[in-house]
Amino acid sequence: MDSWNATLNVCQWPGVTCGHKHQRVISLDLKDHRLAGTISPSIGNLSFLRILDISDNSFHGVIPPELAN
């Protein structure tokens, strides 16, 4: 996504919600963004993530087990 770049704080990126106390990503709402490919195991690094909506995209492959972390 073009708007996801280093010029903005990650908490200001479209579809990203951060918690107020720690400014960590708590929600990713990427529904219907025409995304494709596989889901990176790095998503497991989002230890505060509670909501993930990646529906209506074109992901393929397995769900990374790191997501359960």
Instruction: Let me know: does 30 contact 51? Beta carbons within 8 Å.
Output: no
Q: Does pTM top 0.75 for this prediction?
A: yes
What was the pLDDT predicted at 8? Answer: 83
Domains defined for the chain, CATH in brackets: 10-68 (3.80.10.10)
pLDDT at 2 over 80: no
Over residues 7-62, the pLDDT tens digits come to 788 999 999 999 999 899 999 999 999 999 999 999 999 999 999 999 999 999 99
Q: Which of 23, 20, 15 is nearest to 53 (CA)?
A: 15
pLDDT at 66 over 80: yes
pLDDT at 67 over 90: no
What was the pLDDT predicted at 6? Answer: 74
Contacts of 7 (CB under 8 A, 6+ apart): none
